[in-house]
Structure 1
């Protein structure tokens, strides 16, 4: 089975932008990464990696994170 090629730069840029919006909204809601982790059921290291653009979250994970922060999903992916 062939290995997956790394995503193109434009995908990485969008991933980082989503992570930055997630962090900004979390801070605006005055929540820690730990609080978001507990509320969403997403482990804290994953929250950190998503915010840093190092991990690609699934749509389900984004939905859970948005709900934990109290924002509509569209806010994170606009």
Structure 2
């Protein structure tokens, strides 16, 4: 798999999303680009099968942290929508 998608690009994608302005619904609807999802799937697969290099493990940990933050934001966005 091509490893050109790196953590910095994922951060940039999320920063761009936030900087453009968000609504609760846009937070709920947010999805990573396919290239980022493919990279994440590759890292998870390799972690389960053959193991990861130190840098790949760090990249996977960044992905997982960002995913956790976005899940929390989506849960909070659902709360905002249910109040409206």
Shared fold per TM-score greater than 0.5: no
Larger RCO, structure (CA 8 Å, separation 6 or more) = 2
Using structure 2 for the length normalisation, give the TM-score: 0.27
Please identify the structure whose Cα radius of gyration is greater. 2
Whose helix proportion is higher, 1 or 2?
2
Using structure 1 for the length normalisation, give the TM-score: 0.28
